[in-house]
Amino acid sequence: MPKTIYTTPQDAEAAFYEALERADIDAIMTVFAEDEEIVCVHPGGPRHSGYAAIREAWRRVFAAGTRLQVKLINPCVVQTPFTAVHSVLEQVSVGDEAANRAPVIATNVYVRGPLGWRMIVHHASPAPPSAAEAPKTLH
């Protein structure tokens, strides 16, 4: 099966969040680089490193059968020809509970290689409720 080529980091990010909302582990892992140096941190969880460990972490997230909806706001992007860092505020809701969105701050790091752009880091942390009004500042 041919590997999907993401021509921009924005394409990779869109594919990641679409797969997250569908609870599609195969599609999520297509966005990640197939590398042992990749990292994923779920809100309040430990650091997972390496392709197999990250795949297993996502399997556990999706095992509960919970469907997530994610709205991205306040993106901050820093990009060079071969690296992109996206800092976003994720407003995450479970199922159809859009009124109860939980704010999550995420940093997604992408690198460009022979197969286009791939995610090498997804780090998500709980955010205070006031984060939605935060200025677009990258620290």
Instruction: Read off the pLDDT of residues 62-92 as tens digits, 9 standing for 90 and up.
Output: 998 878 899 999 999 999 999 999 999 999 9
| The predicted structure's pLDDT at residue 67 | 85
**Which value, to the nearest 10 degrees, does the dihedral of the CA atoms of residues 100, 105, 108, 109 take?**
180
DSSP state of 7: S
Q: What is the pTM of this model?
A: 0.88
Q: What is the pLDDT of residues 40-53, one digit of tens each?
A: 999 999 999 999 99
Categorize the per-residue pLDDT at 101 as very low, low, confident or very high, splitting at 50, 70 and 90.
confident
- What is the topology classification, in CATH, of domain 9-130? Nuclear Transport Factor 2; Chain: A, (3.10.450)
Comparing 128 with 107, the larger pLDDT belongs to: 107
End-to-end CA distance of the chain: 40
The residue extents of the domains of the chain are 9-130
- What the block records as the tokens of 125 is 């942390």
Query: CB within 8 A of 32, min separation 6: which ones?
Result: 38, 40, 51, 54, 118, 119, 120, 122
